[in-house]
């Protein structure tokens, strides 16, 4: 199976490359390295290119016959999307349109899209399933929902079949600590907490303690990056065997507050973690927890690293490797 992974040098994309290679796939990564790292691509072929350049996309799609394309090359910072929405609509929507048009031109019919729980906006139920109302409250979520609508239209008009995977909070690292989360700047909670534990940063900021939750801090559903990658692999199998376009929510169904994550990190690392309180961030709902029943039933998805402590342990092993690299 030949798979093109757009954004395969990034956090989730690099884990996808590794997992597909382990399953015997021929993997090609296409990435502009604006936020990814070349050394995170530990298998397959690497092509340096940008989705903003239709000629570059055409060139890579002309290299071989791809069975499927996976797309991870999105901007993902909620607060930044509120402050500067233009770059989110340009990169997440317009550049994805470039990719889809090129796929149609090259008769590539299967597409796996990295979507997000942010398409739902403020939750109206404790667990969010696929039918929950879509009312994003920030441009990041809106940009992802626009692509989902494009995919529905491309299915009808061009026969391009797709699976949109709406995951909640990707976390953790490769269980062998070969690759992990490496954003510049880092914005995700677990690596920030672990960087405070390692001494790389002086403290961790908690943005808001006045949410309508048990301890006043935001609640999120953390899903191990390896389990996310496995869901994407199963999504390809779904398209190969059934051909129907679908959307799936991916999470563990367990919500953990910011304060709970910090406490688990203290327990795993055995370190003191200093906390500084700050104001709420723009566009942050109080609680996001997934109902992933559909993914388990249709894809046969079964998360292997569902507990928060394991997720933090794998992330901590990666952070310790990063700390050594920074020193060296």
Secondary structure class of 173 (helix, strand, coil)? coil
Q: Are the C-beta atoms of 111 and 274 separated by less than 8 Å?
A: no
> Is 11 assigned a catalytic role?
no
CA distance readout (Å), 178 to 27, 39, 173, 322: 18, 10, 8, 10
Strand partners, 110: 161
Q: Are the C-beta atoms of 78 and 281 separated by less than 8 Å?
A: yes
Q: Are the C-beta atoms of 68 and 3 separated by less than 8 Å?
A: yes
- The token duo for 237 is 């199998």
Cα 313 to chain centroid, rounded: 19
Strand partners, 92: none
CA distance readout (Å), 77 to 53, 147, 200, 283, 303: 23, 17, 22, 10, 25
Burial class of residue 223, CB neighbours in 10 A (0-12, 13-18, 19+): buried
Buried b (16+ CB within 10 A) or exposed e, 39-48: ebbebbebee
Residues in Cβ contact with 88 at an 8 Å cutoff, skipping those fewer than 6 apart: 75, 80, 81, 139, 140, 143
Q: Which helix (H) or strand (E) holds 219?
A: strand 219-220
Catalytic residue among 75, 88, 140, 167: 140
Tell me which residues are annotated as active site: 140
């Amino acid at each position: 199976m030949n798979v093109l992974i757009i954004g395969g040098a990034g956090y989730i994309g690099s884990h996808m490359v590794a997992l597909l290679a382990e399953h015997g796939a021929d993997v090609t990564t296409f990435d502009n390295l604006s936020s990814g790292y070349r050394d995170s691509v530990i298998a397959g072929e690497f092509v340096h290119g940008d989705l903003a350049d239709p000629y570059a996309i055409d060139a890579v799609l002309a290299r071989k016959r791809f069975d499927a394309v996976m797309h991870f090359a999105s901007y993902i910072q909620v607060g930044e999307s509120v402050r500067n929405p233009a770059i989110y609509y340009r990169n997440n929507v317009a550049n994805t349109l470039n990719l889809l048009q090129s796929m149609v031109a090259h008769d590539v019919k299967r597409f796996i899209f990295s979507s997000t729980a942010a398409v739902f906006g403020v939750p109206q139920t404790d667990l969010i399933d696929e039918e929950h109302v879509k009312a994003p409250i920030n441009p990041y979520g809106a940009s992802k929902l626009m692509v989902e609508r494009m995919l529905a239209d491309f299915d009808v008009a061009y026969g391009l079949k797709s699976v949109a995977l709406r995951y909640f909070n990707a976390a953790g690292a490769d269980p062998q600590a070969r690759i992990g989360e490496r954003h510049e700047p880092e914005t995700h909670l677990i690596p920030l907490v672990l960087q405070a534990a390692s001494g790389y940063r002086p403290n961790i900021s908690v943005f808001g303690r006045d949410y309508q939750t048990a301890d006043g801090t935001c609640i999120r559903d953390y899903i191990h990056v390896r389990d996310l990658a496995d869901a994407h692999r199963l999504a390809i199998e779904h398209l190969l065997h059934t051909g129907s376009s679908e959307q799936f929510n991916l999470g563990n169904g367990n919500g953990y507050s910011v304060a709970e994550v910090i406490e688990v990190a203290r327990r795993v690392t055995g370190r003191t973690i200093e906390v500084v309180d700050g104001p709420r961030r723009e566009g942050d709902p109080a609680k996001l927890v997934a109902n992933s029943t559909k993914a388990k039933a249709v894809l046969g998805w079964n998360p292997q690293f569902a507990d928060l402590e394991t997720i933090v342990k794998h992330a901590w092993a990666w952070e310790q490797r990063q700390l050594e690299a920074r020193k060296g």
